[in-house]
Amino acid sequence: MTDTTADAQARSTDEAGRNPAAPGGARTVASAVTPALVARLARGITAGEGAERVTTAAPLTGEPLADLPQSSPADVEEAYRRARRAQRDWAALPVRRRAAVLLRFHDLLLARQDEVLDLIQAETGKTRLHAFEEVLAAASAARHYGRKAASYLRDRRRGGALPVLTHTLEGRRPKGVIGQISPWNYPLELSVSDALPAFAAGNAVVNKPDTQTALTALWARELLVEAGLPADVWQIVVGDGPVVGPAVVEHADYVSFTGSTRTGRQVAQQAAGRLVGASLELGGKNALLVLADADLDRAAEGAVRACFSSAGQLCISIERLLVHRSVADEFLARFTARTKALRLGGGLAYGADMGSLVSERQLETVTRHVEEAVKAGATVLAGGRPRPDLGPLFHEPTVLDGVTPGMAVCTEETFGPVVSVYRFDTEDEAVEIANSTPYGLNSSVWTKDARRGRAVAARLHTGTVNVNEAYAAAYGSVASPMGGMGDSGLGRRHGAEGILRFTEAQTVSTQRLLPIGPSHGLDDERFAALLTTGLRAMKALGFR
Ligand code: NAD
């Protein structure tokens, strides 16, 4: 593959003779997301009569996309009232009945995926393949919790205060109504994958998606209702983050937040003030390590996916490439060639390799990080420029060399298609560079020796590590926890932790035959002596 992005794009424009941002050109955002569809979906928003309205724009074209009512703080209160009422009956159902809804949702989602792929592409500007990753992730979470919720939530027998005499069960009760706040970058996955285990555990959810991607969340809610979820159990409110977000936290029994570290801190403080728990899935500055013995072709292919999926607007995508000096030239030749060959595009069909950024704000950050770095002495190995010829928010996949710690792109999350390259001589040095960030979300290690890869992984300060994969291996392992260390967050989604966070543990102990106190004529002293003997006997018998 030797095409430059510009060459490849220019060729596709000439051959197709159509807007280069829409290869295939047959279906447009406007024809897929009609006013009737928007009006139908918008009815799922909890907002009063005469609510203020906001019109979103399609990133691919800049054209108006959806005119949506905005919820007020009073609407958020109303959403909680409805959710609380509905939650009581929902929680009273056997867990298997609730889990069956998730399993039906899984099947419906796979069957109707084209509808939501259009919406995701229209709202985010990502390619169809990157949108499909959301379907994959949401379906995997639905199936996992659909099958496993009952076992995660079942009562568990625990050792009692007194062997035989005390029967103790640990149970799991729903928290009540979960306040869920989600970002725009993975609108299906991040509205559904946390909500599903919350529902399975008997909770209701009041969800505030980002306004930019509300249609996708509203579609997912419609589908889950079709699968059997009582409509009021999932409330969706839409509005300005700093106004509606705090209102969501204000009434929640638990908060599930995904977004930036800056907002996450505010949410955590507000939740702490109310003494309610919160899980926080935040930003990252993720590193990919190419060890000296890596398969360089596989590593280069994986690194391209790691850096440029969803145009780098993926919390677990890679922004720092750490390469062993002995293979750096060879690896970079392969990696930059693959990067330059990526086909940029935004039609509502499979084919393009990388899509658009989502907003002016994202494009501004990406452009600023690249320009500042270049001004301060960094070298552009690939890309480096916005591409307004393709659409208002396109930017080339960009590889920077010679990046130093004073540059924003070195330390701050860019959240775009920009990666910088660093060389290392020893494994210790690689681990030190990888860990030299307050973030700790995801990392990736490439080596022919899987055992060595896992040994390096154990030294990396990130919640997930992928050995010989970019990010999908760990994220797709939905039975195992996913989340961040340090500034990347608190708590975990997926696995047991991903559902138990939405429950309160409750211990129920039943005492039989003898009370735990002086009785049957024992005075306090003899009772204490008896229990002392009892404790020694339990130790001798190996209890507790
Ligand atoms: P953001 O923090 O600006 O917004 C996230 C959500 O919070 C939005 O719905 C927003 O409206 C809302 N919000 C804004 N201010 C609020 C406030 N004061 N109180 C409550 N809610 C408020 O983040 P973003 O730019 O939309 O998303 C990108 C960020 O999300 C990146 O940093 C990315 O790494 C992170 N992210 C993390 C994960 C993960 O799993 N760790 C996944 C996706 C995205």
**Which atom of ligand 1 is least distant from the CA of 361?**
25
Q: Which residue is closest in CA terms to ligand 1's atom 40?
A: 281
* Contact residues for 525 (Cβ-Cβ < 8 A; gap 6+): none
How far, in Å, from the CA of 181 to the mean position of ligand 1?
Answer: 8
Pair of tokens at residue 458: 């154990």
**Which atom of ligand 1 is least distant from the CA of 262?**
2
Q: Which of 184, 186, 251, 260 to mutate to test the pocket of ligand 1 (most atoms within 8 A of CB)?
A: 260
- The C-alpha atoms of residue 512 and residue 92 are separated, in whole angstroms, by 29
Burial class (CB in 10 A: 0-12, 13-18, 19+), 96: exposed
How far, in Å, from the CA of 280 to the mean position of ligand 1?
Answer: 10
Domain boundaries, given as residue ranges, for the chain = 21-282, 286-481, 519-544
CA 346 and chain centroid, separation:
23
Please tell me if the CB atom of residue 286 comes closer than 6 angstroms to any atom of ligand 1: no
| Three-state secondary structure of 74-141 | HHHHHHHHHHHHHHHHHHHCCHHHHHHHHHHHHHHHHHCHHHHHHHHHHHHCCCHHHHHHHHHHHHHH
Q: Which fold would CATH assign to domain 286-481?
A: Aldehyde Dehydrogenase; Chain A, domain 2 (3.40.309)
pLDDT tens digit at each of 544 positions of the chain: 233 343 333 333 333 333 344 444 468 999 999 999 999 999 999 999 999 999 999 999 999 999 999 999 999 999 999 999 999 999 999 999 999 999 999 999 999 999 999 999 999 999 999 999 999 999 999 999 999 999 999 999 999 999 899 999 999 999 999 999 999 999 999 999 999 999 999 999 999 999 999 999 999 999 999 999 999 999 999 999 999 999 999 999 999 999 999 999 999 999 999 999 999 999 999 999 999 999 999 999 999 999 999 999 999 999 999 999 999 999 999 999 999 999 999 899 999 999 999 999 999 999 999 999 999 999 999 999 999 999 999 999 999 999 999 999 999 999 999 999 999 999 999 999 999 999 999 999 999 999 999 999 999 999 999 999 999 999 999 999 999 999 999 999 999 999 999 999 999 999 999 999 999 899 999 999 999 999 999 899 987 6
How far, in Å, from the CA of 455 to the mean position of ligand 1?
Answer: 33
- H helices of 358-481, where? 360-375, 408-411, 427-434, 450-457, 472-475
pTM: 0.94
- The C-alpha atoms of residue 194 and residue 189 are separated, in whole angstroms, by 8
Pair of tokens at residue 521: 């004529």
Selecting among 189, 281, 319, 396, the annotated active-site residue is: 281
- The C-alpha atoms of residue 503 and residue 174 are separated, in whole angstroms, by 4
Pair of tokens at residue 518: 């002086």
How far, in Å, from the CA of 98 to the mean position of ligand 1?
Answer: 29
How far, in Å, from the CA of 260 to the mean position of ligand 1?
Answer: 4
Residue 353 near residue 127, CB atoms below 8 Å: yes
How far, in Å, from the CA of 182 to the mean position of ligand 1?
Answer: 6
Please tell me if the CB atom of residue 258 comes closer than 6 angstroms to any atom of ligand 1: yes
> By three-state DSSP, how is residue 540 classified?
helix
Residue 307 annotated in active site:
no
Would you state the pLDDT for residue 26?
61
Cα separations (Å) of 535 from 372, 507, 522, 527? 68, 22, 18, 12
> By three-state DSSP, how is residue 179 classified?
strand
Residue 315 annotated in active site:
yes
Would you state the pLDDT for residue 85?
98
Would you state the pLDDT for residue 346?
84
**Which atom of ligand 1 is least distant from the CA of 482?**
40
Would you state the pLDDT for residue 498?
98
- The C-alpha atoms of residue 442 and residue 496 are separated, in whole angstroms, by 19
* Contact residues for 275 (Cβ-Cβ < 8 A; gap 6+): none
Q: Give phi and psi for 177, each to the nearest 5.
A: -115, 125
Which long-range CB contacts under 8 A does 378-386 form with residues at least 24 apart?
A: 378/402, 378/403, 378/404, 378/407, 378/409, 378/420, 381/332, 381/336, 381/421, 382/336, 382/339, 382/340, 383/5, 383/339, 383/340, 383/417
Pair of tokens at residue 489: 């967050």
Residue 180 near residue 210, CB atoms below 8 Å: no
Cα separations (Å) of 49 from 45, 69, 205? 11, 9, 22
Please tell me if the CB atom of residue 181 comes closer than 6 angstroms to any atom of ligand 1: yes
- The C-alpha atoms of residue 464 and residue 477 are separated, in whole angstroms, by 10
Q: Which residue is closest in CA terms to ligand 1's atom 6?
A: 183
Pair of tokens at residue 271: 């939740």
How far, in Å, from the CA of 274 to the mean position of ligand 1?
Answer: 21
Would you state the pLDDT for residue 459?
98
- The C-alpha atoms of residue 265 and residue 268 are separated, in whole angstroms, by 5
- The C-alpha atoms of residue 178 and residue 520 are separated, in whole angstroms, by 49
- Nearest alpha carbon to residue 319 among 126, 488, 123: 488
- The C-alpha atoms of residue 264 and residue 283 are separated, in whole angstroms, by 9
- The C-alpha atoms of residue 489 and residue 279 are separated, in whole angstroms, by 7
Q: Which of 210, 248, 366 to mutate to test the pocket of ligand 1 (most atoms within 8 A of CB)?
A: 210
Instruction: Please give the CATH superfamily to which domain 21-282 belongs.
Output: Aldehyde Dehydrogenase; Chain A, domain 1 (3.40.605.10)
**Which atom of ligand 1 is least distant from the CA of 208?**
9
Cα separations (Å) of 511 from 162, 167, 359, 515, 542? 9, 6, 61, 7, 21
Please tell me if the CB atom of residue 441 comes closer than 6 angstroms to any atom of ligand 1: yes
Residue 276 near residue 485, CB atoms below 8 Å: no
